Structure 1
Amino acid sequence: MKSTISTRGVDVAGRSRHWHETIARAYFPLDLTFHRPEAFDGELTSWDLGGVSLSRLTSDALMYRRLPKHFREPGPEEFLVTLPTKSELRFAQGGKEVRANPGAFFIERSHEPYEFSHSDPADLWVMKLSKEMLGGRIRAPDRFCSLQFDATNGANGLFVDMVHLIPARYDQMTEETRSIVGRQLVDLLALAIQSDERVLTSGNSTVRTAHLARIESFVRRHIDDPDLGPEEVAGGCGISVRYLHELLRDTNTTLGQWIRDTRLQAAHEDLKNPADRRAIGEIAYARGFTDQAQFSRAFRARFGVTPKEARGRG
């Protein structure tokens, strides 16, 4: 579904409340500070892509604050990926600050306080997706919220190109196609992040971070192998099993947990994909599970619903 909300036609006295409600519906609740509340203008157009939303937001100068009170209520953790096309944006989260101009993008985490502002009229694209969806492709995605990514080269540029192309093709897509495109957009985002040199050179140890990136990539490529384990991963990444476990201790997760969670997330997306007509058992087997009952128990523990219920909600 496509929708557009604007301040046009809204009484000046009611624009602040109107924009607060618009932002909360499109993303999540935020506190807003207007540079000129008596003359504020803004417009937001959103496109639904299954489990992903894409929006284009134009507005006058504004500051957004995500505060602890906003995520005390139970709710899914989400990420926003913001791409400015006009004016500099300032983003601060986790004690780090990003100043992004057109030609860059950055990631915001919903469940940690942040400030986001622009002192001039802005035009920007925003992609919203769940932590589960991004975390199924990249381990601990919140570690990338302090980085700014180049939006002009390689996989990064391809991701941005796809963002810009979707609205023009949206009306000709079926709901099924939109959902597939949404997942492909997340795949491109993950590829862009993983291929960015600054990801490999961020953190305390370039070598350790690079090894972790290779481990993640190897697991993703071989997730359908039911025998995937420490020996296979270590051998595929050119490191010892002992060093593999030492690296993973830094992430507060085990290889088995990472493999299981990645498999479950992939199966969850398969089940919610209306184009995937395979039986539940076939999907479980294709994602590396050898026991359907065990898969069903693990799936319910992770998502709170059975595989059959998840397919029904797709």
Structure 2
Amino acid sequence: MAGSQTVVATGRAAPRTAAKVRTGVWQEQVNTGVSLHFSFEFADPESFAGTITHRSLGELGMFGVACRRHTVYRRPSDLDLGDDAYFLLTLQLAGDKRVTQDGRSATIRAGEFALYDSERPLRLDVGDGYRSVNVKFRKEILGVHDAESFADLAARKFSTEQGIAPVVWSAILSLGSLGPSSGPDGVLVAGNVIDMTATMLRAQAGITAPDRRDERARRLRAVHAYIDERLPDPDLRVEAIAAAHFVSVRYLHMLFRQSGHTVAAWIRHRRIQACKRDLADPVTRAVPAAAIGARWGFVSASHFGQVFKKATGLTPAEFRERALSG
């Protein structure tokens, strides 16, 4: 990285090397790992290589990438697929990437980062020898006022050596060291990191403090984190969620209604996302699809199959075959 080495990526933050992979498999791995739909162009498909790692901690998604040259898009047809609305931050560790969105374009190199918006058309021109660490979080957990302000930061280049950026990125990268046993504590830490990240972006946008009107959004974020931690529990109930956050069931339903979901629909959505990640992971290839459904709280194989097909248009077996075969 340029200048002083204030931010150091741990070995778990991003893969060290890119492995040979078929382009169709790569597309499925990226789209599933990031839980967004992208389109791709490859200058030399036969020699392409790429490795992606991903994990989720509460409301924070984190993925590391090492790959060769190609171009990634969020075209209007990709935007129409109904993904949730996210901000994504990308930190360059090696190589370079050109980020183009909203009529702006910035080339980021090692030690620099940029933000982009999942709801707007996007182009990422990735160079050879590329390595990056990326995080994503849904816009609604920030609140509408921060979300509107941060959108103007898309496709602008920022340094990890300015302001509080070194502290924030060091915290983000350290999350890669958290093991599965971190449990609720890890989810809490991830929530704190999102708060730190929002503070960093407010500073870049010239905002001195969060808007008090966004308090409901922050409370909803805490509920989402609680749900994510307990997705494997088939007995997860609205009453227990409300009690854990010292609110009424009625208030909890109101929070979700304002975000465009019901509580039950949100739990179902997050379970399907978790199952998609596991089904697309080569490491779990030998695990029966029904066992993956049970792992994430589906009470029976038939119920899992019905809900999954309704959400994705494919059975779990069909989704896995497509994801792993390209």
- TM-score category by the smaller chain? 0.5 to 0.7
Superposed CA deviations along residues 129-149 of structure 1, whole A, max 9, x for unmatched, are 212224478242322214322
Query: Normalising by the residue count of structure 2, what TM-score does the alignment of the two structures yield?
Result: 0.64
Equivalent-residue separation in structure 1 for 2:23 and 2:244 (angstroms): 51
State which of 96, 109, 112 in structure 2 corresponds to 1:104.
112
Among all aligned residue pairs of Structure 1 and Structure 2, give the percentage whose two residues are the same amino acid.
16
SS state of the match for residue 152, structure 2? helix
Q: CA deviation at 1:9?
A: 6.6
1:235 alignment partner in structure 2: none
The answer to whether residue 69 in structure 2 is matched with residue 61 in structure 1 is: yes
The answer to whether residue 254 in structure 2 is matched with residue 298 in structure 1 is: yes
Query: Normalising by the residue count of structure 1, what TM-score does the alignment of the two structures yield?
Result: 0.67
State which of 173, 180, 188 in structure 1 corresponds to 2:188.
180
Residue identity in the other structure for 1:298: M
State which of 127, 135, 144 in structure 1 corresponds to 2:135.
127
Residue identity in the other structure for 2:171: M
1:246 alignment partner in structure 2: none
1:36 alignment partner in structure 2: 44
More displaced 10-residue stretch of structure 1: 80-89 or 171-180: 171-180
> Pairwise CA RMSD of aligned residues?
3.4
2:152 alignment partner in structure 1: 143
1:22 alignment partner in structure 2: 29
Listed as ranges, the gaps of 5+ residues in structure 1 are 201-212, 220-257, 286-291
Q: CA deviation at 1:271?
A: 4.8
Equivalent-residue separation in structure 2 for 1:259 and 1:48 (angstroms): 24
CA 1:191/1:137 → structure 2, altered by over 3 Å: closer, same or farther?
farther
Q: Mapping of 1:1-314 within 5 angstroms?
A: 8=19, 10=21, 15-27=22-34, 28-135=36-143, 138-140=146-148, 141-167=150-176, 169-171=177-179, 173-196=181-204, 199-200=205-206, 213-214=207-208, 216-217=209-210, 219=212, 258-259=213-214, 261-262=216-217, 264-266=219-221, 268-269=223-224, 271-272=226-227, 280=242, 283=245, 292=248, 295-303=251-259, 304-306=261-263
Q: CA deviation at 1:306?
A: 4.5
Q: CA deviation at 1:180?
A: 1.6
CA contact (8 A) 1:7 1:43 kept: yes
Equivalent-residue separation in structure 2 for 1:3 and 1:125 (angstroms): 6
Higher RCO (C-alpha under 8 Å, 6+ residues apart): 2
User: What is the number of residues matched between the two proteins?
Assistant: 245
Superposed CA deviations along residues 154-209 of structure 1, whole A, max 9, x for unmatched, are 32111111222222x2226422223122212211111111223xx22xxxxxxxxx
CA contact (8 A) 2:139 2:147 kept: no
